[in-house]
Amino acid sequence: PHYGAGKAAMIQLTKYFASYLGPENIQVNCVSPGAFPSDKVREKEGFEGELRRRIPLERVGEPQDLAGAFVFLSSAASNFVTGHNLVVDGGWTIR
């Protein structure tokens, strides 16, 4: 329950600060990553296969997947994006 409450608070704070800082032309967004297991976690037998079965894209996240979200939010391509929670989870949350 603590994780969910913390995540909800982060998203709500993002929206609050986006609204508050918008008049100053400051954008505020957050990124919610899905499964990006460390090498140590990947070593556990069967873990990655089970995780892949639960993700619609049938793979776990790689660093470049998460980096793409940050590059987008840091670029001019996102100049009109604020108060958004960008979910980078391979579709985990749609199941």
Number of domains present in the structure of the chain: 1
The model's confidence at residue 13, banded by pLDDT at 50, 70 and 90, is very high
Catalytic residues: 3
* Alpha carbons within 13 A on the beta-carbon side of 69: 18
The model's confidence at residue 82, banded by pLDDT at 50, 70 and 90, is very high
How far apart CA 54 and CA 38 sit, in angstroms, is 18
How far apart CA 95 and CA 89 sit, in angstroms, is 11
Domain region containing 9 = 2-94
How far apart CA 3 and CA 38 sit, in angstroms, is 19
Summarize pLDDT for 59-78 with one digit per residue, the tens: 999 999 999 999 999 999 99
How far apart CA 84 and CA 32 sit, in angstroms, is 10
CATH of the domain at 79: 3.40.50.720
Question: Could you tell me which residues come within 8 angstroms of residue 61 by beta carbon, excluding any fewer than 6 positions away?
Answer: 33, 34, 35, 36, 88, 89, 90
42, pLDDT greater than 90: no
